[in-house]
Structure 1
Amino acid sequence: MTGDASDAERFVEIDDPDDPRIEAYRAIRERDLVGRDESFIAEGAVVLDVLLRLSRFRPQSLLVAENRKDAALTLLAETGTACPVYVASKPVLDAIAGFNIHRGLLAHGHRGPLPDWQSLVPPPDRPALLVVLVGLANHDNVGGVFRNAAAFGADAVLIDSTTCDPLYRKAIRVSVGGSLTVPFARFSDIGALCAHLDDAAVTSLGLATSGSEELAHLVPPQRAAVFLGAEGPGLPDRLLSRIRTVRIPMAANFDSLNVATTAGIALHHLRSAPVRPAQ
């Protein structure tokens, strides 16, 4: 697209990697590793499109490469977004970020406080589909689970204190923006969570290779929570002993699925099969 003078005024040229106005974008990898407290960085056209159109979060600013100005302008115009847009050459952008940014489109967003996890459980008179993550320390896996949660319309993702941040830049990217749209909250007491789900008539389903029921034979309850553990250790025995356990049969001599793949298979079954009341 061709911009006019008013379009040009929306951009702030940055030619110094140490410019204080782009402090939030400096040394992205190192900052991500130690945590960003109340903010996050999103990257790429697809993710920024989700952030601006569908997300409950709002950008504080954009940082774009010179050759991505038109793409940024289109997004801003179509979504009615007003925020500072900083523009830098590729060498300056790489120096700011600390590595080669191939996508050339970055946003600095404000996350705000997390909701109470209880508030994300739909009321008893509504269907419910929740995802519960226990001990997932891999950002790719967390991003993949959120992508599936978004694709199959999960109401929320509840994560324990040991699961990594869904708003880590890599997790956002792998989720294709899913972690920006699916509500999530942290819980600290898994026993209290299970008790609350029981009281709310939500059937807790733990995915495990030793599960007592085959997923394909499971009649989906109207209100379900899918529990997923880390690859390798899986869900703790003390949890599996108090909830229904489900398995996905696999070929002989192979008993491992990526946790995001497991989430996708389970959520597809629960969403696509005829829904009946929980027993």
Structure 2
Amino acid sequence: MAPVSIEDADDPRIAEFRSIRERDLTGREGRFIAEGTVVLRMLAAAHGSGGDFLTEKILLLENRVAGLSEILEGFPADIPVYVASAAVLDQIAGFHLHRGVLALGRRRQERGASELIARLPEKALVVAAFGISNHDNIGSIFRNAAAFGADAVLLDESCCDPLYRKALRVSVGSVLSVPYTRHGTMSDILAVLMANGFAVWGLSPTGFVEIREVPASDRMVLITGTEGEGLPAEVLTRIRSARIAQAPGLDSLNAATATGIALYEIAMAQGRL
């Protein structure tokens, strides 16, 4: 479809892009905003593969269209592409949008942990996170999961939404490529993992084993707890725990940083890298 020019910020055809930051807070009823060239490319790949995500419309700064032609060709021809001047685009978004690349996406369906795990290969690496409330950390955890070949990410219902615009951007679109679910409680997810033969390892500064000493298993899951308190004691008593050696002076690492280090070690042990 040829790009359609938008001259008025109140044009109803681009209503979903209006006042982006306010809508980030109030929600989009199952839809999400993808921002930036890299995330747009990932959304095109997700849409084209028949995966979990669909694209409904695209809004671009008018001088970005030519440079994005290859990515735009990856979307079905019936996806509307709207373009606007910098002044109009800023009015629509409610702030200066220097990237000039937006898309409205929608997730096809939400799977529970049991359904997602049933789709995994026999040799699998899973990341689970409980109570992560920081969107930067959620985005970074997905980026780590993609970088080290994890097969899925399981989030409990207390985690923030990985499709929030900032989390999606920080993940460089990995939220759209790594299968995930955000559903159920910590206990629900642990029960499903244990019932499906996973070796469950939790990250803790007081872990019994240094991360490099974690033995490889065909099915492994790495669990990260909240940014402040980490994994609760009742969880650590049910699983095996690992620590990351560090110099004296700090009691722990950032949740996303710790997840990245641990994933690297486990992926190496499993022969993924």
TM-score range, shorter chain: over 0.9
CA separation in 2, counterparts of 1:223 and 1:33?
Answer: 37
CA distances 1:58-113 after superposition (whole Å, capped 9, x unpaired): 21111000110113322122555541011000010010001111110100011132
Q: Distance in 2 between matches of 1:123 and 1:100?
A: 42
Paired position in structure 1 for 2:12: 20
Go from structure 1 to structure 2 and tell me whether the alpha carbon gap of 1:140 and 1:30 turns closer, same or farther (over 3 Å shift): same
Contact 2:120–2:151 (Cα < 8 Å) also in 1: no
Q: Does 1:249 align with 2:245?
A: yes
Structure 2 residue 97 is the aligned partner of structure 1 residue 101: yes
State the TM-score, normalizing by the size of structure 2: 0.93
Task: Give the aligned partner of residue 4 of structure 1.
Answer: none
| Cα distance in 1 for residues equivalent to 2:40 and 2:244 | 35
Tell me which residue corresponds to 2:29. Answer: 37
Instruction: State the partner residue of 1:216.
Output: 212
Q: CA deviation at 1:231?
A: 1.7
Whether contact under 8 Å (1:38, 1:111) holds in the other structure is yes
TM-aligned CA deviation for residue 183 of structure 1: 1.1
Identical counterparts, % of pairs: 46
Structure 1: tracts of 5 or more residues without a match: 1-8
Q: In structure 2, which of residues 197, 201, 222 is the aligned counterpart of residue 201 of structure 1? A: 197
**2:217 and 2:270 in contact (8 A); partners too:** no
CA drift of 1:12 comes to 0.7
Query: What's 2:264 paired with?
Result: 268
**Conserved? CA contact 1:121–1:128, under 8 Å:** no
Residue type of the alignment partner of 2:183 = F
Q: 1:19: how far off?
A: 0.4
For 2:262, give the aligned amino acid.
Answer: A
Instruction: Trace 1:83-232 onto structure 2 (pairs within 5 A).
Output: 83-122=79-118, 126-232=122-228
Per-residue deviation, 1:273? 2.0
Q: State the Cα deviation string for residues 104-156 of structure 1 (Å, max 9, x = none).
A: 01000111321121111156971111111111110000000000111112111
- How much has 1:22 moved relative to structure 2? 0.2
256-265 or 58-67: bigger deviation: 256-265
Rounded Cα–Cα distance in structure 2 between residues aligned with 1:65 and 1:199: 50
Aligned residue for 2:88, secondary structure, equals helix
TM-score by length of 1: 0.91
Structure 1's 205 and 140: CA in aligned 2 closer, same or farther, altered over 3 A?
same
